[in-house]
Structure 1
Amino acid sequence: MTPEKSNSRKHFEEPQRFLYMIDETIEEIQEMQTHSSSVVAVKATQSLTELLDREYATLDEFERDLERNLGALRRANTSHASLFNAMRAIRVNVVDRSTTVADAKELLSEVITRIVEDVQHGKSRAAEKAVSTFTDGECILTHDFSSTVLATIRQAVNRDISITAYVTEARPRYLGRKTARRLAKIEDVEPSLLVDGAVGEVLPRCDRVVLGMDCIVDGKLYNRIGTLPIVATANAVDVPVTV
């Protein structure tokens, strides 16, 4: 394939740029500095705007680089279904869809924007739907770190609903501590941090368990390590679980 003409980019509009680059995002995902599955998917998707600033002699070169970075981001943490789906959607909607580098870059920019909006709106819709299940003075237990659960609690408080929340530490990474710190900053929420092994002691005081999720595969819900014993204990003491 021959190099493109110098004016091939004249119709390409400059997209929004983000501070984090691909390599930095991969490292952050691998080290689990970002814990929410939806946040990981958004950051990984936005990091691909770095490719819009690179120069490519041919369309093949651009698409090879895109696929290489999609694979690297996807492999950074294979447990995040949202990340996998976002990277797959970019490949399906961008690769083999254009005839010039400029067109491919413009398409990539559009797909990035659309995927980010879809993920963020999906979380907002989930929170809006879940908030209707909360009642004033309710006591809940939650596990690990879920941005959707946090968004739901914020919306509940905005509706003048006060909540008592028990949060598991979620060892070995102690992600529950981050959740507890976030909840402590929300008015009308009383968070209490507890070790994972204390779930059986605390659950009888709770009205229900509220959890986020990573994905659903073949009718099975997958979430962070430690979810199963919490759900099993909740079932044993007749405490409902909301996902």
Structure 2
Amino acid sequence: MIDETAEEIAEMRTHSSSVVAVKAARALEDLLDEEFHTVEEYVRALERNSSALRRANPSHASLVTTQHEIVEAVEDVDAETVADAKERTQAAIDAVVERVETGKHEAAEAVAEELADGMTLLTHDYSTTVLEAIETAAENGTYLDVYVTEGRPRYMGRRTARRLAEIDRVDATLIVDGAAGHYMDEVDAVLLGMDCIVDDFLYNRVGTYPLAAVAGDADVPVVATGSSAKLVDEGGFRFENDYRTPTEVLLEPSEGFDVANPAYDATPVDLLDRVVTDAGVRQL
């Protein structure tokens, strides 16, 4: 069952990294229904299955770090029985899920408070935290205009635009990725989700780096938001990019040239104005 979840996570390319982290955490609950003769046997199974889940999508920091957190919560306690180890596992899973989901909501609320009536935003990719922030602001009476980049080659922005179109007081406009600079002089702030921030780089959907650079040249503030579970201390996580199939870019065979399709890029954090998470606001 966990192997099936790992395969599913490997294909969850259009989902928020927080959603992936929660799904992976809950997948470990399958072990709680299995029989183990010793605590050592159970802990080995927990580590083996957690490792499989981490390998399924190593580019998602919140997935990797929360899996380590669950395993360490069990390994660091000398459980006397398998039942005790399982109880500790369940508690760690529940704590991780609560922290990730609560973190997203608190970050979204903090961003919503910053959004003033009549603002024009520009966003990229599909971020559940960004969507919740905009929806919360709108529910509080704020009118917003939002430009949404398509997010090629998987067109994640189309999904975002459709969600925004369902929200009262929000006028959404879908634009091609290359048009961000054309519309930047109308924009009050660029609002981005994040896969993770590691050391001095924001890792997010490819296209984020040039978007932040254009915003910086136009003196438009760039705000990244998400759960604090996506903030990784130095040495705690090594980002691995996801290189997707060339057929997402070009359906017909390429003749005489290669097709590159990285899923993420690295944006220097000095191109950001601030990072908003449940842990607070980090000015940059």
Q: Give the TM bin, normalised by the shorter chain.
A: 0.7 to 0.9
In structure 2, the residue matched to 1:117 is 98
**Secondary structure of residue in 2 paired with 1:172:** coil
**Deviation at 1:213?**
1.3
Note the alpha carbon deviations across 1:113-142, whole angstroms, 9 max, x for none.
111001111111111211111011211100
Counterpart Cα distance in 2 of 1:212 and 1:176: 12
Name the structure 1 match of 2:59.
79
Structure 2: how far apart are the matches of 1:26 and 1:169?
Answer: 28
* SS at structure 2 position matched to 1:239: coil
30-39 or 122-131, larger mean C-alpha shift: 30-39
1:18 is aligned to none
Counterpart selection for 1:198 from 131, 156, 179: 179
- CA offsets per residue over residues 89-136 of structure 1, 9 Å max, x none? 011101252121111111111111111001111111111211111011
Q: Determine the C-alpha separation between the residues in 2 that align with 1:156 and 1:60.
A: 50
Matched with 1:149 is 130
Check if 1:36 corresponds to 2:36.
no
Q: Tell me the distance in 2 between the aligned counterparts of 1:213 and 1:171.
A: 17
Unaligned runs of 5+ in 1: 1-20
| Greater CA drift, 87-96 or 28-37 | 28-37
The structure where strand makes up a greater share of residues is 2
Distance in 2 of aligned mates of 1:136 and 1:145 = 23
One-letter amino acid of the structure 2 residue matched with residue 223 of structure 1:
N
Q: 1:54 aligns with which of 27, 30, 34?
A: 34
After alignment, is 175-184 or 223-232 more displaced? 175-184
Matched with 2:262 is none
Q: Measured at CA, do residues 28 and 155 of structure 1 come closer, stay the same or move farther in structure 2, by a change above 3 Å?
A: same
- DSSP-derived class of the 2:205 partner: coil
Partner deviation per Cα, 1:150-186 (whole Å, 9 max, x = no partner): 1111110121011111111111121111111111111
TM-score, normalised to structure 1, is 0.87
- Equivalent pair of 1:131/1:155 in contact (CA under 8 Å): yes
Are residue 176 (structure 1) and residue 131 (structure 2) matched? no
| TM-score, length-scaled by structure 2 | 0.75
Q: Which residue in the other structure is 1:3 paired with?
A: none
Q: Is the 8 A contact 1:34 1:40 kept in 2?
A: no
Residues 33-79 of structure 1: per-residue CA shift (max 9 Å, x gap): 55211111111101111111111122222111111111011111111
Task: Tell me, in whole angstroms, the C-alpha distance in 1 between the residues paired with 2:103 and 2:135.
Answer: 16
Q: Mean Cα displacement is larger for which, 201-210 or 225-234?
A: 201-210
Distance 2:12 2:153 in 1: 12
Amino acid at match of 2:133: T
> Structure 2 stretches of 5 or more lacking a match?
225-284
Q: Give the match for residue 103 of structure 1.
A: 84
Which of 162, 166, 172 is equivalent to 1:185?
A: 166
CA contact (8 A) 1:206 1:239 kept: yes
Tell me how many residue pairs correspond in the alignment: 223
2:118 is aligned to 137
Instruction: Map 1:207-226; keep pairs closer than 5 Å.
Output: 207-226=188-207
Which residue is equivalent to 1:70?
A: 50
The aligned counterpart of 1:26 is 6
Query: Given that residues 12 and 20 in structure 2 are in contact (C-alpha distance below 8 angstroms), is that contact kept between their aligned partners in structure 1?
Result: no
Distance in 2, matches of 1:190 and 1:24, equals: 40
CA shift in 2, pair 1:22/1:192, >3 Å: farther
